[in-house]
Every structure is written in C-alpha cells, then in structure tokens.
Structure 1
Amino acid sequence: MKRNKSVLTAPLLGLILPLASHGAAAPTEINVDFTATVIETTCNFIIDTAVSPAVKENTRNSQYTLTIPNVSLDKIISEDPAAQSNFTLKTDSCSPGISAISTKITSSAGRTGNLINNSLSNSTAATNIGMGFKRQSDSGNNFITPDNATTITWSSDERSAGLPLTVALRIVNSSGTTSTGEFESTTTFNFTYN
C-alpha cells in the first residue's frame, strides 16, 4: 500500500515544481501601441420652430416646410411684410470649438437673378413671382444669390444664437406678365463648418 501512495504523489510534485520556477524568473515587458483617430462631432442644423411658427418640421427626414399665408398680389408688388416670413437657422449638437460656419443656397427650380423660380408650371401656378432669402437685418431686397457659390458667413453671435433669415415673395420681372396662383419651391441650404 505504501507503494501506491508514492506513485500518486510523484505526479503532483512534478506539477508544483514548474510553477515555482516561473515565479523566480525576471519580469518581461510588453509594449502595446494603440492608434486612434479623433474626429470632430458632426454639426446638425435645424430651423428653430419655436421662433419660426410658420415652419413645420417633418421629423422623418429632417426637412422643413415654411408656409407664407395667402397673400394678395398688391402686397407682393409693394413688398409688404405680409409677403414674407422670418425663420432662424440654428446649430444643434456641434462641438464647442466650431469657429466658422458658412452657408450656400441652391434650388432645383432654377433662379432669375437672386430670386428662386416657382417650381409649379400648371394652370394654377403663379407666374413672374420668385422667392428670395436675406438676413433679417438686411433692409430692402438684398437677397442672397441661390447659386450654391455665394457664401453667407455666420458671425460669432449667429453661431451661438442662430442665423435669422427672411424669405420673401417678389416680382421677378417688373415688365413681365404676373398672374396669381400657387407658388412652391424647394431650397437646399449647404453648410460648411470647422
């Protein structure tokens, strides 16, 4: 019986000895290099619907609809405030380090001068009427050219509080034939920031 006990303990000693010899070895260093790319937070742009009640947001696709109420032709001709509406573009979820924002405007409906054309061409469409965008602080018809090249540079106040804009309906050609009717157009605002 003694013989069986010694046979069982011999393999256990063989397992313990290799562990003890590893504990006495010198420590080894492992260097691991990590690389990462830190990217800027994407800046989102919204229309402040609280400040711009004429604007409705389509939350499914981040598009907005701005409605100018029915307006008579004499108000458009006289450039009355009833033929325009104000709204404010704002930043949302931007990095605090954004130091410059610029905006360009374009439209698939085409343009005549600084006015965007009516995209409707049916028998109920208004003719010789266009829509223009300008800063609310600009008087007169200092409209931004919707050519996707003219740049609106935001001031530091505008970067923090928003860019107040006005959209106005105007006569495209004073010697042209103007008719009342529906007006519709889609405008794209392109933003660059850093």
Structure 2
Amino acid sequence: MPTIELYPIPWGQEPPAHLRQIYEEAFPPEERRPWTQLFGPERCEHIAQLILSDDEVVGFVVGWELPSSHYFEYLVIDPNRRGQGLGSKVLQLLGQLYDDEYPIVLEAEPAGYSPMAERRLAFYARFGLIVQPFDYRQPPYGADLPWVDLHLLSNRSLQEADFLRIQQEIHRQVYRISSDK
C-alpha cells in the first residue's frame, strides 16, 4: 500500500509542471483560481501542499485556515493515479491533521452537474463529508466569470448560523468579497 505524505509548497514556488494541466482539466474556468494566485510570487494566506505517494508527486491540496473552519479549496490527484486509494488516504490524513473543534469544509458541484460531480459527491460521502442543506454560491474568480451554484460539504452537520458564518468567511477571505449574492 502506498505511503502518502503532504509536503508544503513554499510561496513563490510552483509544483511540478504536469500538475497545472491536471488542475486545469479537473476544474472548469469558473471554478478555477488563476494559477498565479495559487503559486505566484506574492505571499498569500492559503496553504498549498504537494501530495507525495512513495516519494512521487501525485497531486496537491490547497487549504485555508479560517476563523471557524478548515476550508479546502482544491484536492488534485493525477488521473493516472486515481482509483488507487490515494484520494482516500489524503482525506484520511487531512481528517487526522485537522481533527479539532473546527469543521473541515469544501465545495463540490451538485448531483446531476456531471458524471465527475456524481463520483466526487459519492467519494466525499464515503468519508463522512455531508452536503449541507443550505444554498451556497461560489463567487467568481474574475470579473468575466459567473457565480456558481455549488454545495458546501462538511465533516459534520452545521447549524444554519454556523453555515452562514463559514460561508461569509470563505467569501471574504478566499474570494475577497464582502457580500453574498
């Protein structure tokens, strides 16, 4: 069974080039932060980590430490390595690393969006990530991109007040907007 490790990516350093293409193929433009914002020279608030499987780079994860949650913006696994349990091991590791008073949250496309969305939701459900029963919209990453109706998932059920606080923190700190639409 492969060993999984997370290795921090220092600010201003990019992950191996093949991961950019995987990232761009895995997420549509309206759900994709510009690469330079993820791995550019500017100091940023998010935490980017390489995913290593037996010392081979197989993906990356980008997360944010927010006041009320641990928000994971991206989990990217090389498609040639999918189906080997690597994503499962990464979620288990993240669950161990962030097993505290704050929930783990992430966004996902709703059921019916695409076959990949269906697989992602089923995958996340196997690890106890619960689709929260409140409307959630991802703000645009750029002026020419739309808001996107998504689900917010969490490793625990959230009360509406907690959901709204976490949504506000994501919108304000991750997307840099102050109001919801």
Fold equivalence (TM over 0.5)? no
Greater relative contact order: 1 or 2 (C-alpha under 8 angstroms, separation 6 or more)? 1
- The TM tier, using the shorter chain, reads under 0.3
* Bigger-Rg structure (1/2): 1
TM-score of the superposition, structure 1-length normalised?
0.25
TM-score of the superposition, structure 2-length normalised?
0.27
Higher helix share: 2
